[in-house]
């Protein structure tokens, strides 16, 4: 015995010996997290949280077509949600924390599931280049592109670090400033195209994971995924296009 917590098998209470030297968690949450089905569920739910945010974000972005007063007023209103219960700006920080948690859970489970998928392949494929499907490559590289874009987007329109002509407290003017540069337009449009492809596959995949998928529903779900991806992509891209064509500015 090495201590009061030791057992006859050398494992600690609350863990099960799998026979391979690894401990299997005995709690429901632990078993769920370590299972492939559980990881897929976490990935699906976190993806849906981000999707709901994207829909709300796109609708808010479209207010820019109503002029500076409307858009700046909307940006100010976001910071006052929850008054007087919440202090100024607290609602936005709560949303940001939730999004960071969702992004982290999504990225971690995606990485872990990818490693499990590779480990489950037959030995003869270990030294060969993996044959990944178009959807898999799109999700993988799309996720990387979107991760890099989030960093750029925060530096551009939140901290205003890379937005040379930005002024704090003037969101409408800051958006116009960033989309008045060729690189601002390219970065944003490429990222939104990657987002559309990511949503197109991710929405359908999440529906399957959460049990909404059925053979007779597949066509409807795929149509919904295509429509949602198209609407969000066009909605987001319409803002830089509006600045470039003079509709906004």
Residue 83 within any structural domain of the chain: yes
- For residues 146 and 107, the answer to whether their CB atoms sit within 8 Å is no
- For residues 14 and 30, the answer to whether their CB atoms sit within 8 Å is no
- For residues 43 and 106, the answer to whether their CB atoms sit within 8 Å is yes
The pTM (predicted TM-score) of the whole model is: 0.80
Number of domains in the chain: 1
Residue 70 within any structural domain of the chain: yes
Q: What is the mean pLDDT of residues 168-174?
A: 95
Residue 20 within any structural domain of the chain: no
Q: What is the pLDDT of residues 85-95, one digit of tens each?
A: 999 999 999 99
**pLDDT for the residue numbered 134:** 59
Residue 5 within any structural domain of the chain: no
- For residues 153 and 61, the answer to whether their CB atoms sit within 8 Å is no
**pLDDT for the residue numbered 5:** 47
Residue 15 pairs in a beta bridge with 25
Q: How far is CA 194 from CA 14, 31, 191, 229, in A?
A: 43, 33, 5, 10
- What range defines the domain where residue 196 resides? 37-245
Which CATH number do you get for residue 72?
A: 1.20.1300.10
**pLDDT for the residue numbered 52:** 95
For the chain, report the end-to-end CA distance as a whole number of angstroms: 75
Q: What is the pLDDT of residues 124-139, one digit of tens each?
A: 444 444 445 555 667 7
**pLDDT for the residue numbered 212:** 66
**pLDDT for the residue numbered 129:** 47
């Amino acid at each position: 015995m090495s201590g009061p917590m030791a057992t006859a098998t050398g494992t600690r209470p609350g863990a099960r010996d799998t026979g391979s030297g690894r401990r299997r968690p005995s709690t429901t949450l632990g078993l769920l997290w370590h299972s492939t089905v559980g990881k897929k569920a976490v990935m699906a739910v976190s993806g849906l949280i981000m999707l709901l945010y994207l829909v709300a974000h796109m609708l808010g972005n479209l207010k820019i077509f109503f002029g500076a007063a409307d858009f700046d007023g909307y940006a100010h209103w976001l910071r006052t949600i929850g008054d007087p219960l919440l202090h100024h700006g607290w609602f936005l920080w709560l949303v940001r924390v939730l999004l960071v948690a969702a992004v982290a859970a999504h990225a971690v489970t995606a990485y872990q599931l990818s490693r499990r998928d590779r480990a489950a392949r037959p030995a003869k494929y270990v030294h060969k280049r993996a044959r990944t499907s178009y959807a898999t490559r799109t999700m993988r590289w799309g996720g990387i592109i979107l991760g890099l874009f989030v960093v750029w987007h925060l530096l551009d329109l939140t901290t205003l670090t890379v937005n040379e002509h930005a002024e704090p407290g003037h969101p409408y003017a800051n958006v116009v400033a960033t989309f008045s540069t060729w690189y601002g337009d390219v970065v944003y449009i490429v990222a939104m195209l990657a987002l559309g492809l990511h949503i197109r596959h991710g929405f359908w995949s999440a529906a399957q994971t959460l049990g909404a998928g059925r053979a007779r529903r597949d066509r409807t779900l795929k149509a919904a995924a295509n429509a949602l991806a198209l609407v969000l992509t066009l909605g987001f891209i319409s803002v830089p296009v509006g600045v470039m064509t003079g509709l906004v500015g």
